[in-house]
């Protein structure tokens, strides 16, 4: 009978680093190097190297005067993002379901993740021919309704970074001109929703709207997507106010309070 393989050195190092974090988290006070090493049964020099690496990436913090260690704020940031994703899906699901029932098309929920978006939920159309997507798929922001809906309301620095990068062409309709895209996003801010006329994928049209958190930041978006042969531009225009209202309802549940008719002013105030 073959003997079970032991964990490779890198895995053991990772496990030891995780033990350090759990040890720091299990104490209500800052810990000395010797206390941490003793708690994980590690050598002080090895423990110090691991703590230095964790400190570098913000997972641990060292008081330079007292020489004691505690958990870093990076953990709080990641924990907040994890909770936000769970909360957002729970809040949004009834609205996604309602939008699908009204339109008969697939509804997407996308979370902003860096300079791209990631699909975290969807309610599929019951029709035989429908838009195919997978949870976890990433989406460029410049070439879809769900992407442009959130891109239009980002702060100026992030907007410049995304638009300043190469705007990849996916179809003949993809907007690859920075000037044209900026003008297009201005229209999105005024309307409160974005159109995608086969820009990210040939034969697919959609309309998307932003979702704001309690601070007024655009953090996610939703969209109605369907095959172009069934969904024409008149459908998208008719669904625009519907998807916008859905986005505002989700935003309100997240603590966003500016649910008036004009979103443009709030976006420009954050951008400057």
Every domain of the chain and the residues it spans: 9-71, 77-271
Q: Which of 71, 58, 63 is nearest to 24 (CA)?
A: 71
Q: Indicate if the pLDDT at residue 8 is higher than 70.
A: no
Give pTM, 2 decimals. 0.67
The residue with greater pLDDT, 174 or 11, is 174
- How many angstroms separate the CA atoms of 160 and 61, rounded? 32
43, HSE (Cβ side, Cα atoms, 13 Å)? 4
Distance of CA 196 to the CA centre of its chain: 20
Q: Which CATH class is domain 77-271?
A: alpha beta
Distance of CA 177 to the CA centre of its chain: 25
Q: Indicate if the pLDDT at residue 264 is higher than 60.
A: no
**Which pLDDT belongs to residue 192?**
95
Q: Under CATH, which number does the domain 9-71 receive? A: 1.10.10.10
Coil, strand or helix: which one is 203? coil
Tell me whether domains 9-71 and 77-271 share a fold.
no
Cα radius of gyration (the chain): 23
- How many angstroms separate the CA atoms of 168 and 104, rounded? 30
For residue 18, name the pLDDT band (cuts at 50, 70, 90). confident
């Amino acid at each position: 009978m073959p003997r079970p393989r032991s964990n490779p050195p890198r895995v053991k190092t990772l496990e030891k680093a995780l033990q350090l974090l759990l040890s720091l988290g299990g104490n209500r006070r800052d810990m000395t190097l010797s206390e941490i090493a003793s708690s994980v049964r590690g050598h002080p020099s090895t423990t110090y190297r691991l703590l230095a690496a964790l400190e570098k990436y913000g997972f641990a913090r060292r008081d330079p005067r007292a020489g004691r260690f505690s958990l870093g704020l990076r953990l709080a940031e990641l924990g907040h993002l994890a909770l936000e994703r769970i909360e957002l899906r729970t809040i949004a699901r009834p609205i996604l379901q309602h939008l699908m029932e009204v339109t008969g098309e697939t509804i997407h929920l996308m979370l902003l993740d860096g300079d791209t978006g990631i699909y975290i939920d969807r309610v599929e159309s019951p029709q035989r021919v429908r838009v195919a997507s997978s949870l976890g798929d990433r989406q460029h922001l410049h070439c879809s309704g769900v992407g442009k809906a959130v891109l239009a309301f980002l702060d100026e620095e992030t907007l410049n970074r995304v638009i300043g990068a190469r705007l990849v062409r996916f179809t003949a309709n993809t907007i690859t001109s920075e000037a044209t895209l900026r003008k297009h996003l201005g229209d999105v801010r005024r309307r409160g929703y974005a159109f995608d006329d086969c820009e990210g994928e040939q034969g697919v049209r959609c309309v998307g709207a932003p979702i704001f958190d309690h601070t007024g930041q655009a953090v996610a978006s939703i969209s109605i997507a369907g095959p172009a042969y069934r969904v024409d531009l008149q459908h998208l225009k008719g669904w625009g106010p519907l998807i916008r209202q859905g986005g505002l309802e989700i935003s309100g549940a997240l603590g966003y309070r500016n649910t008036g008719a004009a979103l443009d002013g709030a976006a420009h105030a954050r951008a400057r």
